[in-house]
Structures are given as structure tokens and as C-alpha cells.
Amino acid sequence: MPDDSRRAERGLMEFYADDPEGAERRLFGRVPYPDRRGFLRGAGLAALSAAVGAAIPFHRNMPSGFLPLALAESAGAIPGKDGLTVLNDRPVNAETPAHLLDDRVTPTARHFIRNNGIAPEDTSPDGWMLTVDGLVTNPMELSIDDLRSQFEVVTEQLTLECGGNGRAFFDPPASGNQWTYGAVASSNWTGVRLADVLKAAGVQDKAIYTAHYGADGHLSGDPDKLPISRGVPIEKAMNPHNLIAFEMNGAPIHPMNGAPLRLVIPGWPGSCSQKWLTRIQLREVVHDGPKMTGTSYRVPEYPVAPGQEVPKEDFEIIEAMPVKSLITSPATGLETSDRLIEVRGHAWAGDDKVAKVEVTNDFGETWIEAELEEPANPYAWQHWKAEVSFPEHGYYEVWARATTDTGVMQPFAIAWNPKGYLNNSMHRVSVRVS
């Protein structure tokens, strides 16, 4: 269970390593010549020059597959975002380093990005429509103004986490975005209750599952293909804390986080919270849209050994996320002469509540119970802090673990699965005391 520094050089460097010429074409319009010397022309050269902050006199000599060091060092510069680490650009996926998640409410600029397709170009709320159909007695077509005027508007702090958060630490590795700790956030969302809208539409007795659809495009460009369409059981859909949201932290939703309309279904994998929402369908079967079948967002229904092959029929859909805690201060790698420091962070637990957080700096020999706050509302993460003393100079690790109100404790080790989901092993940071 390594600390954050293990993945410090990830991002666009990895993207270039996997497909350098493809990366150049998609990012900057680079057109490789037959002699494999790269040449940037038109908007591509302007984009690269702007990214590095100066003209590039010898750009004609830049070899194909070359990523300028200045760009690698600043990878993650997404408009409206601050300090995120880019894991992929097609689709855009970016996480937030743990120490930048110290705010009680995650600022929009620090909220992670998890996309499966290409975000729509037009995210204006004007003319945006939501269809509610399927097994309902009163199919509806609703504008955002309709949602505001016909239903109670509420604001709640809700925690969203990607099901693959922590995948980077699986051994053997699991394919997919190599998230470390930062695919989680707890922002304030404003919208209307999903349950209120479904009740107004009239849920038929035969309906057992929702199906969600968004305006994002498939990576292939095929308009008949969807990048993702997931859903939840009706029982979960009727939870009063699920929102059809049109504001994020008191302002319009960031385009990369689903503007102008999205679902927020907290406590379950973030993939259930469809972005750029255009339709909610009620079905009499478990939804079978893209990323809903096979092994997507599924784990084996029994424990498996690392690297073990698992038949597809033995996978089950991920529902509630596991208990987890995060150390947001100090940042890993702290060097200090102080013998007493405050350690703080957040904890959350899917559909449950966190009852206790403990920290240790002696590799688990003794544990200190942290001061734990109540959540702002159900499904908001809970803040905690503890004073930790260091008896002498040297290298230390601070670990944190959370326990739910049902007695489930965060584990030390990763429960391996083939797709790299649900890693809730203890977070740890390194401290050197001089």
C-alpha cells in the first residue's frame, strides 16, 4: 500500500508512452511526416506554444512522440480546475492529489473528472430537456426551468467516488484509469429530488430499475453508440438524497462535471450519477446499457486470489461503496522539526455512516482515536482530526482507518479483484522528523 509519491509522474507522460502519435494528433494536431520528424501546423502549433508559454523556434525538429517537459510538468491544466492530475484526455479523466482535498466542501476547481465519452460542446441550460419515460403512468418532458418551478429545490453536500478509485495500487495491475486516491469529492449540489420527479411521473408496479442517458458522445464518433448508460434499483432511486442537479457549489455545474444537468446518486459508484442528463427510463429488468453488463462496475461475488481468473457469470453489480478515509493534511513526504502535528482528513461509508476514525504512527501497534464530526447531511463525508506526537527524529508513516456504525472497519490490505474496483485499504502518508 504505497504512498502518493509512487504515481507522481503519471498523467500525459503515460498517455504519450501508450500511443505517442495518437496523443499528438488528439492533443495538438501534430501530423507526423514520413521521416517521423514531427511538424506542428496551424492551430496545433499555436496550442502547444500556448501550453508551454512561449514560441518554439525549433518545433520542426521535435521528434514524433515527444512531449515537451514544460507540458509534462504542468499536465492537468484544465480550464476551471486547479491542481488536478490528468490520467487521460480521451475521454478526459483527472484526479485531485489528496492534500488538495482538505476543504470541508470540495471546491468545483478541485472536483475530480471521470468521463466515459466525449463531453457535448453545447452545455447551455437554454433548451435543455429531460425525458422521464418507460414504465411510468405520466411520461414527462421537463426543462431545467420546469424542474425549478414544479419541484422543491434543495441543496445537499454529497460525496461522489469513482468505483475504480485506488486502482493504481493493485498487484497484479488491473486495467483502466490508474486512480490513486483523488477520484473522490464532496461538493454542494443543488437540484430537485430524483424521487419527487419519479413520483410525479408515476412509477408503475412493474418497474424495478432505472436507466440513465446523457448527451456525451461515444469515443468512436458513432452517433448511434452510447459511451455509458447505467441505472440503479428502484429502491435506491427513491432515496430522498438523490438529486437531479443543475448547480454545483452555488454556481452552474462545471462542463467536465456534467453541465447543465446531471444525476447525483451518492454512496454508490460515481458511474451511476449520469452527467449531461437527457433521459431517465424506468424498466422491468435490470438495465443492460453500456458499462452495465459483463464485468463493468462489477466484482466477483466471492473473494479471489490476486491474479485469479473469474468467470463472467460470477460477477455482481457494485452497489454501495465501502468505508474509507483519507488523510488530507499533512501531505505525504512532510519534513518537519515539530514533534506534535495535527493530522486531519475525511471519511465516508457508502450508504452507512462513519462511527470512528483512528490513526497510528507506529505501524499499527497503537491507535489514536480521532475527533470525528457529524456529516453536514447524510452522504456528506465526515471531517476528522487528531494530534499525533513523534517521540524522536526519524521516518514515520501515519495511517488512518475508519469504522462504520455497523462495525465494518477499513482494511489494511487491498481485496484484489480483476477490474480494480473498491480499493478501500488504509491511506498512509510519510513524515520525516528532523
For residue 62, the model assigns a pLDDT of: 61
269 has pLDDT over 70 = yes
CA atoms of 95 and 117, how far apart (whole Å): 17
Distance from chain centroid for Cα 420? 14
Question: What pTM, to 2 d.p., does this model score?
Answer: 0.84
Distance CA(18)–CA(127), nearest Å, equals 40
Q: Is pLDDT above 80 for 355?
A: yes
Q: What is the amino acid identity at position 347?
A: A
pLDDT tens-digit series, residues 289-321: 999 999 999 999 999 999 999 999 999 999 999
Indicate the Cα dihedral angle 334, 336, 339, 343, nearest 10°. -30
Residue whose grid cell is 505501524: 363
Q: What is the dihedral of CA 280, 281, 285, 288, to 10 degrees?
A: -60
C-alpha cell at 348: 465516508
Identify the bridge partners of residue 244 per DSSP, sorted by sequence position: 192, 263
Q: Which of 53-57, 234-238, 246-250, 423-427 has the lowest mean pLDDT?
A: 53-57
**What average pLDDT does this structure show over 7-28?**
45
SS3 169: helix
State the pLDDT at residue 371.
Answer: 98
Residue 174 has φ and ψ, to the nearest 5°, of -115, 140
Alpha-carbon span 386 to 105, nearest angstrom: 20
- Residue linked to cell 432505472: 210
Contacts of 290 (CB under 8 A, 6+ apart): 225, 226, 227, 228, 229, 296
User: Within 13 Å of residue 198, how many CA atoms lie on the same side as its CB?
Assistant: 29
Percent of the chain with pLDDT over 90: 79
Is there a contact between 285 and 164 (Cβ–Cβ < 8 Å)? no
Q: What is the pLDDT of residue 59?
A: 66
Phi, then psi, of 22 in degrees rounded to 5: -65, -40
What's the half-sphere exposure (Cβ side, CA atoms, 13 Å) at 76? 23
Quote the strand ranges of 221-349, DSSP E: 243-248, 251-252, 262-264, 277-283, 298-300, 315-317, 324-329, 334-336, 340-348
pLDDT of residue 79: 83
Q: Does residue 10 surpass a pLDDT of 50?
A: no
269: left (phi over 0), alpha (psi -120 to 50) or beta: beta
> Rounded mean pLDDT of the chain?
88
Q: Is the pLDDT of residue 281 over 50?
A: yes
Q: Give the mean pLDDT of 122-137.
A: 97
Distance from C-alpha of 214 to C-alpha of 91, rounded to nearest angstrom: 15
Check residue 417 and give its pLDDT: 98
For the chain, domains (ranges, CATH) are 4-75 (no CATH), 129-317 (3.90.420.10), 324-433 (2.60.40.650)
Q: What is the pLDDT of residue 50?
A: 61
